[in-house]
């Protein structure tokens, strides 16, 4: 079995497809337009580091120099995310670059620089399959930047580890749907302990942590919920999510406040199940979409997603600085970027408007993650 298939089978064994949820609110943006890619100068890089810039507001522009890699040459992307391998015929979705609104700009992703910055460090991604989406994208971006670098991959129950040996950089993915404990009791029942983060012990070895959670809170995968001494069969999911995220925040503050560990949180990744949200007829989904949303002024007329507000409120109340990777708006515009029927048969044809093709939109998430690492002052560098 090829290495990529072995990794795919392993990840598939520990991951279940995250449930779809309704898409969230978005602000307006101009429609994508064709622009040539411009090299980022030293002055542009300096502009990027300005605290006044909101690089998460902008527009998608067509760029023929994209994608940043060929997924067919990446041994780390699982089959379910590899849309081209699964027969997707169009390629325009691969050729969009995120352009922040002026005067902001983004540096082009430099994987070798990132590997040097992280030399000797461990970077861990913790969360559901959308966090895995970003993790595998980053592995492919680094592999393409340093194709000759020696790598080793290993896996255990609920985790994947890839090490770039020549740089001493280890990237780990830990499966955690809720960021709090999901355990079995003596009666064989599954309990969601929304006030406990005992599984966090294995995360403490990381120098950089990227967390993410929400999709699985919308489904019931437990027999009951335990909150301290209170046990209930279920509760309002938004309330449960809030309590769980607060428990995670307490864990971070208690364990990481006095460390140099850098902590990030992946923002809400939208689904595209309701075409009316971008002006399409009733019943339209992401299936068959080949271009980003044009004319974002009419997009997402409803109320903002409450989970996004909860995340912002919890992060703002923490003692440990946690940087939000605010990917929601830019991803809302990419109705064309999902795996749909090109997910290798998992979930049925045309059903997946939640996960993203790799290569694709998660590469931009990681370009912004890269930007965030650079503008943090590279304090991890030895």
Q: Which of 82, 128, 336, 352 is catalytic?
A: 352
Identify the CA nearest to 371 among candidates 65, 104, 106: 106
Whether residue 324 contacts residue 262, with contact meaning beta carbons closer than 8 Å, is answered with: no
Q: Which of 143, 272, 338, 355 is catalytic?
A: 355
Residue 21 to residue 19: CA distance in whole angstroms: 7
From residue 16, alpha-carbon distances to 158, 272, 346 in Å are 11, 19, 10
Q: Which of 8, 105, 129, 159 is catalytic?
A: 129
Torsion 142-355-66-104 (CA) sign: negative
Instruction: Confirm whether 338 is a catalytic residue.
Output: no
Q: Which residues contact 60 (CB under 8 A, 6 or more apart)?
A: 32, 96, 97, 98, 99, 292, 330, 333, 334
Instruction: Confirm whether 129 is a catalytic residue.
Output: yes
Instruction: Confirm whether 352 is a catalytic residue.
Output: yes
Q: What is the dihedral of CA 184, 188, 191, 193, to 10 degrees?
A: -40
DSSP, residue by residue, 166-208 = TTTEEEEEEE-SSSSEEEE-TTS-EEEETT--GGGGGGTT-SE
Provide the annotated active-site residues: 129, 352, 355
């Amino acid at each position: 079995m090829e290495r990529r298939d072995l990794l795919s089978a392993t990840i598939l064994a520990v991951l279940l497809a995250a449930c779809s949820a309704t898409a969230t609110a978005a602000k307006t943006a101009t429609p994508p337009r064709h622009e040539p890619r411009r090299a980022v100068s030293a002055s542009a890089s300096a502009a990027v580091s300005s605290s006044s810039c909101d690089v998460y507001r902008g527009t998608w522009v067509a760029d023929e120099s994209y994608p940043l890699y060929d997924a067919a040459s990446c041994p780390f992307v699982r089959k379910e995310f590899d849309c081209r391998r699964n027969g997707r015929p169009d390629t325009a979705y691969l050729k969009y670059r995120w352009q922040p609104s002026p005067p902001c700009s983004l540096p082009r992703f430099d994987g070798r620089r990132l590997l040097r910055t992280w030399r000797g460090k461990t970077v861990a991604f913790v969360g559901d399959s959308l966090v895995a989406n970003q993790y595998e994208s980053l592995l492919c971006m680094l592999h393409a930047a340093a194709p000759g670098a020696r790598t080793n991959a290993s896996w255990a129950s609920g985790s994947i580890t890839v090490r770039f040996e020549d740089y001493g950089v280890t990237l780990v993915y830990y499966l955690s749907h809720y960021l709090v404990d999901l355990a079995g009791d003596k009666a064989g029942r599954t309990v969601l302990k929304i006030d406990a983060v005992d599984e966090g012990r294995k995360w403490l070895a990381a120098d950089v942590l990227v967390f993410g959670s929400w999709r699985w809170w919308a489904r019931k995968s437990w027999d009951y919920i335990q909150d301290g001494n209170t046990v209930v069969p279920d509760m309002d999911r938004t309330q449960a999510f809030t309590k769980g995220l607060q428990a995670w925040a307490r864990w971070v503050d208690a364990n990481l406040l006095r460390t140099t560990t850098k902590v990030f949180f992946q923002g809400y990744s939208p689904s595209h199940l309701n075409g009316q949200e971008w002006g399409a007829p009733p019943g339209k989904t992401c299936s068959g979409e080949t271009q980003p949303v044009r004319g974002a002024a009419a997009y997402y007329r409803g109320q903002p997603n409450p989970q996004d507000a909860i995340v912002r409120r919890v992060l703002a109340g923490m003692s440990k600085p946690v940087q939000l990777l605010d990917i929601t708006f830019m991803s809302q515009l990419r109705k064309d970027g999902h795996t749909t029927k090109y997910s290798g048969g998992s979930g049925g044809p045309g059903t997946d408007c939640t996960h993203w093709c790799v290569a694709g939109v998660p590469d931009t998430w990681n370009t912004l993650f890269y930007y965030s690492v650079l503008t943090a002052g590279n304090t991890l560098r030895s």
